[in-house]
Each structure stands twice: as structure tokens, then as C-alpha cells.
Amino acid sequence: MEQEASLRTQSHSRPNRKLRGRRGQTMIMVTLGLVPMFGMIGLVTDIGYMHFVKESAQTAAEAAASAAIIQYHATMGGSFPSCSTSVCASTSTACPTTITTPANPVENGCMYAYNQGFTNVRYTAGINSVPPTVTGTGTASYWVTFYVIKDVPQMFSAIMGNTQGTVASRSTGAVFGATDCIYALQNNGTGLSMSGNITLTSACGIYINSNDATNAIHGNGSYTISAPEYDIVGGTTTPLSPAPNTNVSPVTDPLASLPVPASAPFTCTYTNYNSSTLGTNLSPGTYCGGIHVGNETLTLAQGNYILVGGGLSTQSTNSHLVGTSGVMFYNTSGTVGGTNYTYSGISLAANSTVQLKAQTTGTYAGILFFDDRTSHTSSPDSYGGGSTSYFEGAIYAPTSNITYSGTANTTAKYTLLIANTITMVGNSTVQNDYSSLPNGSPLQQTVIIE
């Protein structure tokens, strides 16, 4: 009996030892399999976290580029932007790390990135060139690219030897010439009026700030308008091709950052200048009481003409105003020596001859007329002229109502109209060839291009 019990015990113990051996092998295989599996799970987790950090870095880069380019356009922009060492860098440059109050647009962008929690921020920037990080954009007046970089410690995947990863994002903001060249800034009523059986042919877009639902563009007679683009805050019943973009956002004054050419106290170069009595060759200066062109040809030398009261006027079909070497008129008012010179609009007779070109260099390159921004709706401007007349440059009258008879000839390579309201009273051709200006259109717009 004892022998049988011993045999039974031996027969039961052998399979138990085999089972325990198999279980031990399984545990070893499972353990060995868990190591790469946890490594893969950790890698996926870390990659997901790095993707989150990269998205945050991209947001910071775009915030930096937007902040910098908007401030640049508002404070330093225009037809000829400046490029001091503080806002331009041809090679990757680190943002200052001790900024408390931004001293320039680039530092403003740097702080926006810092406020997103990133400290390794770099930038490159330039003027009159194509941003090197993008293609197909053309030449920008100014561009800046921000790079936001962050080292990210790895967590789970560190057991696989990946202790650290790096994410980098970038964004580029730029200032380009605007595609529109006719701006009516009044926010209600009719912005652009067409009077009579006339044609307006524009090579560039038209922007109407009026929120009037049906008459933002309106007229009488059998008029036609041709332009590549129409942007209207409100709407219009005027047939337009292509179809207008309606219900767009209002636009701000596109030349709001352009500095005022002169301010009080004024010193008069001439008082109540009349070409019939004071001569027919004129030099830049301050003209208190304005300039009046009689029945002769008044030739203007290159430069800036400050009109303190009195405006600029021509008399008749025998009046000829010629300033083809590059001129700019600033129309304002003021008191000089106790005499008050009251503001008066520009009044160029429809049958006189007016041939004017804006300067091509300097702060006011591309600017032909500049009205004092103080509201002058009660003193409208009238820009007339015969068939040989032309206005090459910007007529900038943001708070004035202007009447523009224009001309159908194509002598002026470009014309820009920026006014409170615009009334067209003659056939007009508006071109947009800015090749004479190194930075293109005097009207610049900010764009985030990546």
C-alpha cells in the first residue's frame, strides 16, 4: 500500500513541475514583450504631447508676426518703410530676453511670443524683398519671420533612450501694396456717386465703407463702372461685373499712419499767391492764403507745397498748372501773425489743364494731394481738367467730399482716390502701374502669409 501511494505521488508531481516551468517561461516572455509595448505607448504619448506644444508654438509665432507687422504698418509703414537694425535682421537673431516695454515692432512681437510661455524666440526681417520662407508672394515692402523653438523633455519614451525632443514653428507677416485704389470712407449713405452718362474704368479695386444696403454705390444717368474687384460694407443695386463683395468689414483710413507734412507755427513764403501778378514759376514753400492760377501756365518746381488757407484753384480754360517733376500739396489752415487763414478746398476748373505727378522718393512718395485730416465736409474738393489733364499720385482727402472729373487718357501711370465721399462727373481711367515707386502702391496692407 505504501508503495502504491508513493507511485501515485510521483505520478502527480511530474506534471506540476512541468506546468510551473511553462508558467515561468510565459512570465518571462510577457515581461520581455511589455518593455517595447510600454516604449511604444510612451512614444505615442510623447509625440502627442509634442504635437500639442508645436501647435502652441505655432500660435505664439503667428501672434508675434501679427503684432509686429501691425505695429510696423501703423507707426513706420507707408510707401517707403525704414529698416533700422532694430527691425531688420538678414540672419536669424534672438529676441532680447529682458524686454519690459517694447521699443519697436519686432520687440512687440517678441513679447507676444513670450506671453505664450516661450522664451527661445528668433526672427529675420527685411524690406523691398521676397520673404525667403515662402514663394509666389512677390516683393514685400517689409516682412518679418518669427521662429518659436522649445525643447520638450520626454516622459515615457525616455526608457527607450529618447530623453528630449525639439519643436519649432514659424510665421511670417508682410506689408504689400493694396489691391484697391479707390476708397470712399464714409460709413453711411452713398460713398461713390456717378453723375451723368459717364464711364469709370479702373485697373484696381474699389472699396466702399458705407453700410447703406442698396445705395453704397449709386448714380443717375446711363453710367458704367469697370473694375477687377468691388468691396462694399453695405450693398448696391448698380450692375457690377464681377459681382461685388458685399457685407465686408469696414476698412480704416489706409494712410492713417502717414505723418502730417507741416504744422503750426507757420512762416509764410508767399501770401495770397496769384500767378497773374506774382509770376509763373513756383518753388516749394508755405503759401498762406493759397495759390491761384490765372490765365497763364504756372510751372511748379519739385517739392512740397504747404497751403495754409485758401487752397489751390485754377480760373478757366486758359489756366495751366504743371508740376511734372514731382510735387505734393498739403492743404490746411492756420493763423500767422494774427491773421487767420481759413481752410478752403481744392478747386481745379473742369476746362483748365492740370498735369501733376507725385514725387517718387521720400516720405510722401506717391502722394499728390494731402488734405488736413480735420473734418472738411463743408469745404469739398473739385479735381477737374481738360482732355490732356492727369493726376499721377494719390489724392488723399479722408474727411473731405471730392468731385473728380478725371480724364480718360492714360498718361498717369497710377491714380489713387481716398476721400470721405467721391462723385465722378466725367469719363475717367484709373491705372495701377506703380513701377516708378520702389515699393509699389503707397497704400500698404498687412498680411500673414504663413
Mean pLDDT by 10 residues, the chain (450 residues): 50 53 59 55 63 89 93 69 79 91 93 93 91 84 93 67 79 89 97 95 96 96 95 96 94 90 95 94 97 96 98 94 97 96 95 95 94 93 93 97 88 96 95 88 88
Secondary-structure breakdown of the chain: helix, strand, coil percentages, each rounded to the nearest 5: 20, 40, 40
- Exposed, middle or buried by CB within 10 Å (0-12, 13-18, 19+), for 335? middle
pLDDT of 165 reads 75
Residues whose CB is less than 8 angstroms from the CB of residue 149 and which lie 6 or more positions away in sequence, other chains included: 57, 118, 120, 121, 122, 166, 167, 168
Tell me whether strands 270-274 and 217-220 are parallel, antiparallel or unpaired.
Answer: unpaired
Q: Where are the domains of the chain?
A: 26-177, 180-431
Helices (H) then strands (E): counts for the chain: 3, 30
pLDDT of 155 reads 64
For residues 189 and 202, what is the distance between their CA atoms, to the nearest angstrom? 22
pLDDT of 445 reads 83
Q: Residue 231 to residues 185, 234, 245: CA-CA distances in angstroms?
A: 12, 9, 5
Residue 370 cell numbers, joined? 494731402
The answer to whether 337 and 346 have CB atoms below 8 angstroms apart is no
pLDDT of 7 reads 46
pLDDT of 44 reads 58
The whole-model pTM stands at 0.78
pLDDT of 176 reads 83
